[in-house]
Every structure is written in structure tokens, then in C-alpha cells.
Amino acid sequence: MLLTTKIYIAGHNGMVGSAIWRALESKGYTNLIGKSSHELDLRDMLAVSDFFEKEKPEVVIDAAARVGGILANNNYPYQFLMENMQIQNNLIDTSLKFDVQKFIFLGSSCIYPKMAPQPLKEEYLLTGPLEPTNEWYAIAKITGVKACESIRKQFGKDYISLMPTNLYGPYDNFDLNTSHVLPAMIRKFHEAKEQSTVDGQQSAVTLWGSGTPMREFLFVEDLADAVVFALENQFQDNLYNVGTGVDLTIKELAELIQKTVGHNGEIIWDSSKPDGTPRKLMDVSKMEAAGWRAKVSLEEGIQRTYAWFLQNQETFKQVKI
């Protein structure tokens, strides 16, 4: 891979895409392309085709998606299914038509069955029912994985899929209506810390579920590093998990974030709200065998994310409640 190779990063303004952009720039790549959703609607096949005709990218990294937490997935199932399929199908099919030799498709650990054995191996794909609270997004991502696999099989092109575990970090979404669990907790604990009661005790924080499900979290800059690694190396297979291989309970996560933020109030668990999948830990042995492993600890990653949140809370993806 030459440093002058023309690389198109779809979704370059998002948390994942912007981290990939920074990682590539730091390694000296000089020919990066990005278009905002206002400049290029990836759901529009003709617009995508015109863009490829004009720019002729040599490599495409698909970090574009409609994303959200349990609430957003439950409330907008059609959009999560259809818009994600439109985005990825247009990018994958147009890349094939314009002879793009390398395509990196980013998905999610939610593609695996809800009750699959732990840790999740790549071969567990399509072996059981999905988690109902995010099956629409998962089905869309599964079709993307299979599209890349079929191109690899039929046309011999280097199209690969990376499935990251739960991501967090700078440029995350902190809107409580659409965010994932970790950034939502950061915002909730921060706002409760700012709202002291009469006796000086900080406001209580109410969190969804029982706190017992186990989750794995990957700092977004580690994922960006994995993408660069995949860009610069040829992988034998089409599907690779990207994670830390370590998980913790949601309760433990809450306590770690509470400590990082400096909140001293009560945590209330609302067990009337859904927990989601009981456990979701990735088997990352294939990626490690290829030569890559995560570097940033969860504690360090949360500290860096909270520092970014404090610097940017008035300007980025915040909806006041």
C-alpha cells in the first residue's frame, strides 16, 4: 500500500471514520477522500456512482452507517434495516463496478446469534436467532459481510469485513435518545454530578436494566489501528472480529465511569427496561494470529473519552434533556 494510494473513507466525520482518518494521516497517507452526508447521500445509488466516476478511489473503507442504541433500534426498525443496506450495498456494488481492489467493511458484534457460545467466534455467524432489540441493524450488517465474501469468492478481490465489539471514544454520540451505553453513562453521571442536592449529595443516576449483562468495549482509536493494519496486510479469510477479548458487567462499567467522572450519588437500576444480550464477548484469536491486538485499557479509554466530552459537550451531538 503506497502512501499516495487514493483512499475513500465513507463516514469520515463520524466517531469511527474520523479516527481512521487521523490514524492514516499519522502514518503519512496523503491521498484521503471524504464527503459529508450533505455532500454525498450514500443511500442514492446514482450519486454514489457519479462520485466514484469522478474520484476513482483505489481503496474504500466503509465506516458509514445509521447507528444507535437499544431505544433507537426499537423505535426505527425500518430505517435501521433499509438505510444501512442502501449505504453498504451502494458502496460495495459501486466499488466492484469501478474495480476497487481493496474494500474494508465495518460491522458489529451484534451480527452473531443472541445465545451463541461465548466468546463469539467468526464461524458462529448465522447459527441461531439474533438479539431482537437490534436485529434490524444486525441483518443489514450480515448482508454486507456476505456481499464482501461473495465478491472475494467470485471475483478474487481483497474485500474483508472487520466486526468490532462495542466502540467508544472521541466524537461519540452523547445524545441520550440515540447513544450507546458507555457514552450515555458518561453524560448521565456528569450531569448528575453537576446537580447537587441541598445536603451536597449529588443527584442519583438511573440506568437501564439489571446491571448484570456482560459487555466488551474497544477504544475507537484501537479499531482505527486495526483498520490500518488490515489495509497494509493481506488476510487469508473474509471475516475478523476486532476487540479486546476482555469483558465486564454493566454494573462494573457504571462504577468505573462513576469513579472517572467523580460522581458520588446513588445508582438506581431500572429493571423494567431491557438488558439486551446476556453476554457478548468476542473471540479475537484470528486477529491476534494475523498480528494485531488492542492496546488501550478500558480505564484509560474512559478517561480519554471523558476528557474529550468535557472539552466538546456544548458543540457535538448533544441534545439537552
Catalytic residues: 137
Residue 106 annotated as part of some ligand binding site: yes
Alpha-carbon gap, residue 57 to 62, rounded angstroms: 13
Residue 263 annotated as part of some ligand binding site: no
Residue 166 annotated as part of some ligand binding site: yes
Cell of 227: 483498520
Strands 214-215, 158-164: parallel, antiparallel or unpaired by DSSP?
unpaired
> Residue type at 237?
D
Angle at 162 between CA 94 and CA 296, to 5 degrees: 135
Give yes or no for a contact between 91 and 48, defined as CB atoms under 8 angstroms apart: yes
Residue 180 annotated as part of some ligand binding site: yes
Alpha helices in 64-219 (DSSP H): 70-75, 77-97, 135-155, 181-193
Residue 15 annotated as part of some ligand binding site: yes
Residue 308 annotated as part of some ligand binding site: no
Residue 107 annotated as part of some ligand binding site: yes
Residue 126 annotated as part of some ligand binding site: no
Half-sphere exposure of 99 (CA within 13 A, CB side): 1
Distances (CA, A) of 146 to 15, 70, 153, 239, 254: 25, 24, 10, 9, 36
Residue 320 annotated as part of some ligand binding site: no
Cell of 183: 457514552
Residue 167 annotated as part of some ligand binding site: yes
Residue 188 annotated as part of some ligand binding site: yes
Q: Buried (b) or exposed (e) across 181-205, using 16+ Cβ within 10 A?
A: bbbbbbbbbbbbbeeeeeeeebbeb
Residue 190 annotated as part of some ligand binding site: no
Residue 165 annotated as part of some ligand binding site: yes
Alpha-carbon gap, residue 185 to 192, rounded angstroms: 10
Alpha-carbon gap, residue 240 to 284, rounded angstroms: 8
Would you call 271 exposed, middle or buried from its count of C-beta atoms within 10 A (0-12, 13-18, 19+)? exposed
Residue 11 annotated as part of some ligand binding site: yes
Annotated binding residues for substrate, as ranges? 188, 208, 215, 275
Annotated binding residues, as ranges? 11-17, 106-109, 141, 164-167, 180, 188, 208, 215, 275
Annotated binding residues for NADP(+), as ranges? 11-17, 106-109, 141, 164-167, 180
